[in-house]
Structure 1
Amino acid sequence: MTHDDYPLEGGCDCGAVRYRMLTRPLFVHCCHCRWCQRESGASFALNAMIESDRVEVLREAPRLVDTPSASGKGQQVARCPHCQVAVWSHYAGAGAAVAFVRVGTLDRPELLPPDIHIFTSTRQPWVVLPPGTPAVAEYYERNAYWPAESLARREALRRGPPKT
């Protein structure tokens, strides 16, 4: 994928919620943990982590629904208020500053393949992981896998807005 592919648009099934990812995400996780399997109803969840201010709502805003998470800290799932499709989440660890966009809700999800497969220790045995994409049994050390640009963007988030 190139910078020319942005922005990317997506939305829910009924079309009430539409959004635009303005830039490349920080990183794309394909999570195979049992929690993600249960929550998605599939063998894994594919989430593109991006700064929330880089996700622009184009139509109706999704409704934030507080739900439990494997960490015990909870998450807010952004769902269409009509068809209930989840379009992104905010996990307690990252807070509202980072959106975990559900890649499958993009109009062109093929543009965001996973950068890494995580929690592969609990993946379904019939899911075959592609060669060439990093895969780890549990979680990973961010500095070992994220591109320098994404690490710099994350650091800017951690510092917060400039003080005036």
Structure 2
Amino acid sequence: MPAISLPLDGSCRCGRVHIRLTSAPICTAACHCRGCQKMAASAYSLTAMVPVDALEVTSGDTVIGGMHAPELQHHFCAHCMSWIFTRPVGMPFVNVRPTMFEDTRWFWPYIETHASARLPFAQTGAVKSFEKFPAMSEMEGLLKGYAEWSAQAV
């Protein structure tokens, strides 16, 4: 996996919403939960967790979609309805869909979550797997592990 080359630019499918990433992810993941399966219309969703101030919408506007929960704001393009990113309220990171970027060679999931809901054929190649979502007490170690792993994966 090549190193991430910043800034990264990307867009939704129709190109009406453009985004820019200015800092490397703090972790990468694939989620097998039923909500992500339904929103991604796929076996799992891919996520790059990035610092809140590292992701910018450079043109266009997003709308809130998905589950419309106060704790999770799922941002979509209003026209093509591409799921672009999710802001977990009160968290210091944003979950951006890495497939929105023009260059995706840098992406590889470090963790997979909700493996208990994995479809029988779905394989992610993630380094670590969790039956549900990792406990908050595990996050510090996972972020440190991702930083070490991603530095070596170059």
TM-score, with length taken from structure 1: 0.76
Q: How does 1:15-164 map to 2 (within 5 A)?
A: 15-63=15-63, 65=64, 67-68=66-67, 74-92=71-89, 94=91, 97-130=92-125, 133-140=127-134, 141-147=138-144
User: Quick check: 2:72–2:89 contact (8 Å CA) kept in 1?
Assistant: yes
Structure with more of its chain in strand, by fraction: 2
CA distance in 1, matches of 2:112, 2:93: 19
Aligned-residue CA RMSD (Å): 2.3
Gaps of 5+ in 2: 148-154
Gaps of 5+ in 1: 151-164
Which amino acid letter does the alignment assign opposite residue 67 of structure 2?
P
Could you say if the C-alpha distance between residues 56 and 23 of structure 1 is closer, same or farther in structure 2, counting changes exceeding 3 Å? same
CA distance in 1, matches of 2:124, 2:74: 27
CA distance in 1, matches of 2:80, 2:47: 20
The number of aligned residues is: 143
Question: Tell me, what secondary structure is at the counterpart of 2:129?
Answer: coil
CA distance in 1, matches of 2:71, 2:50: 19
Structure index of larger Rg: 1
CA distance in 2, matches of 1:128, 1:149: 19
Task: Answer yes or no: is 1:6 the counterpart of 2:6.
Answer: yes
CA distance in 2, matches of 1:99, 1:38: 20
CA distance in 1, matches of 2:132, 2:90: 17
TM-score, with length taken from structure 2: 0.80
Question: Tell me, what secondary structure is at the counterpart of 2:116?
Answer: helix
Which amino acid letter does the alignment assign opposite residue 2 of structure 1?
A
Could you say if the C-alpha distance between residues 36 and 93 of structure 1 is closer, same or farther in structure 2, counting changes exceeding 3 Å? farther
User: Quick check: 1:67–1:75 contact (8 Å CA) kept in 2?
Assistant: no
